[in-house]
A and B are shown apart, each in its own frame.
Chain A
Amino acid sequence: MTKATISLNVNGQTLETQAEPRELLIHVLREQLEITGPHIGCETSHCGACTVEIDGRSVKSCTLFAVQAQGTEITTIEGLGDPDKLHVLQEKFKEHHGLQCGFCTPGMITRAHRLLIENPNPTEEEVRFGISGNLCRCTGYQNIVKAIMAAASELNQTEVA
């Protein structure tokens, strides 16, 4: 049960740490690498607050051992934007009041980011289906969906221009 050396590329930076095989990725990210954007909500694969992107897939990092992520490229909310230069999704969540308490927001935006890469021009129904693995207990989802639709529209305009 010795610790394994785990090398991860997180938000463009190669990070190395030691973890027991039983340590979940979310715990290693938050407690060892101090990447605290992904949250621990339910810790039972339901709520999606811990969503990160791993090699182009949205993954609930509470349901993956860190050792399984060895050698992968991971994007978290920290890799999408920062307070001085928000990502379009972050701008739109702010503008459309797509959050209240904010606990689900990092997972929600990280998931929406992948959704818009795979489907740059989604219908409202596709957005709702695409974020169905992320729970929000405040907003009722309306403004989250509006924010994602607005982000899609702005990203598409930017691309045309």
Chain B
Amino acid sequence: MIPGRFDYHQPDSLSAALTLLNDLGDDARVIAGGHSLIPMMKLRLAMPEHLVDLKAITDLKHITVRDGVISIGAMTTQAELIASAELTLAAPIVRETALQIADPQIRYQGTIGGNVANGDPGNDMPALMQCLDAEFQLSGLDGQRTVKARDFYEAAYFTARDDLEILTEVTFPTCSGGYAYEKQKRKIGDYATAAAAVLLTRGADGSCSHASIALTNLADTPIFCEDASSGLMSAGVDDASIAAAVTSCIDIIDPVDDNRGPAAFKKHAAGIVLKSAIDTAWSRA
């Protein structure tokens, strides 16, 4: 399990990292926590000639909550997300999700930026970011741009990020309502067989004033379930509307047969985790 040869670079600023990427072109890959890339390099499914490690760029590691907006630097680890009391107060669904990623050792290394930017359909943060309607900040040598999480994912491992750009930060609004991230997996450390992120806000009159649902590992991208979300908002949350939301979500997912089970089983599992997530989120709303 020895990766192919490469040169290692550890720039200490974002501009130095972007310049390196630009100079090295297609032969370079950015590395964050490395827990997706290094296994691929060990299998020689990835053979970059240059690794640009972002670990020394201190500007990329921060969690701030200000004026109802949460900003998280790309190099913030899952363990740091879990440990942040301020973040957990402002958006408890982030901690709930991060705790279901991989295992403790991997959460010390794995970063939010790597998780959202890699484009692996098995990663948990992309659906969460779509559920939260997050925005991703992308930096290139020519400047910065913002892409919504709901517009970022194109296909497995293909995203709106250009190869010469670095995803630097995710931002999303604080959330005060009910929440749940439910994940069916074969064992700790596994990717989801099916997982659902749900946010629900209960209005003063008992209606559902805000709903947002997104799903993990049930298609080649995360799936934001727009119709199901708006359906719960217009119909309110009851047994019939939950069943309709679940049906609507299952209709738009496209899981594939693999070692986690046949597609029909995954649709079945998706229905169960989604219903459970909606029930939990509403009970907390």
CB contacts (< 8 Å) of B53 on chain A: these are 68
A1 is an interface residue with CB less than 8 A from chain B: yes
CB contacts (< 8 Å) of A43 on chain B: these are 1, 42
CB contacts (< 8 Å) of A57 on chain B: these are 79, 108-109
- Contact check, A132 vs B4: say whether CB atoms are below 8 A apart: no
- Contact check, A111 vs B2: say whether CB atoms are below 8 A apart: no
Q: Separation in Å of the A118 CB from the closest CB of chain B?
A: 9
* C-alpha gap A65/B51 in the complex (Å): 11
Which secondary structure dominates chain A's binding surface?
Answer: mixed
B175 is an interface residue with CB less than 8 A from chain A: no
User: With A43-B1, A43-B42, A44-B39 known to touch, is A65 a contact of B108 (CB < 8 Å)?
Assistant: no
- Contact check, B105 vs A46: say whether CB atoms are below 8 A apart: no
- Contact check, B108 vs A58: say whether CB atoms are below 8 A apart: yes
- Contact check, A130 vs B108: say whether CB atoms are below 8 A apart: no
* C-alpha gap A115/B189 in the complex (Å): 18
User: With A58-B105, A64-B34, A111-B105 known to touch, is A4 a contact of B8 (CB < 8 Å)?
Assistant: yes
B260 is an interface residue with CB less than 8 A from chain A: no
* C-alpha gap A91/B188 in the complex (Å): 28
User: With A60-B105, A132-B103, A133-B105 known to touch, is A1 a contact of B5 (CB < 8 Å)?
Assistant: yes
Chain A contact patch, size range: 20 to 34
B106 is an interface residue with CB less than 8 A from chain A: yes
Give how many A-B residue pairs fall within 8 Å (CB-CB). 81
- Contact check, A133 vs B102: say whether CB atoms are below 8 A apart: yes
- Contact check, A59 vs B104: say whether CB atoms are below 8 A apart: no
* C-alpha gap A48/B41 in the complex (Å): 19
CB contacts (< 8 Å) of B2 on chain A: these are 22-24, 27
Residue of B nearest to A44 (CB): B39
B35 is an interface residue with CB less than 8 A from chain A: yes
How many B residues, CB 8 Å from partner?
27
Type the 1/0 row for B155-177, where 1 means its CB is closer than 8 Å to any CB of A. Answer: 00000000000000000000000
User: With A58-B104, A130-B104, A133-B104 known to touch, is A45 a contact of B8 (CB < 8 Å)?
Assistant: no
A63 is an interface residue with CB less than 8 A from chain B: yes
Type the 1/0 row for A55-73, where 1 means its CB is closer than 8 Å to any CB of B. Answer: 0011110111101100000
Which of A43, A44, A45 gathers the greatest number of chain B CB atoms within 10 Å?
A: A45
- Contact check, A63 vs B109: say whether CB atoms are below 8 A apart: yes
CB contacts (< 8 Å) of B5 on chain A: these are 1, 20-22
A51 is an interface residue with CB less than 8 A from chain B: yes
Q: Separation in Å of the B242 CB from the closest CB of chain A?
A: 30
* C-alpha gap A113/B284 in the complex (Å): 35
Q: Separation in Å of the B118 CB from the closest CB of chain A?
A: 15
* C-alpha gap A156/B105 in the complex (Å): 24
B-contacting residues, A23-80, CB 8 Å: 23-24, 27, 43-46, 48, 51, 57-60, 62-65, 67-68
Closest 4 CB pairs of A and B: A133-B103, A21-B8, A57-B108, A132-B188
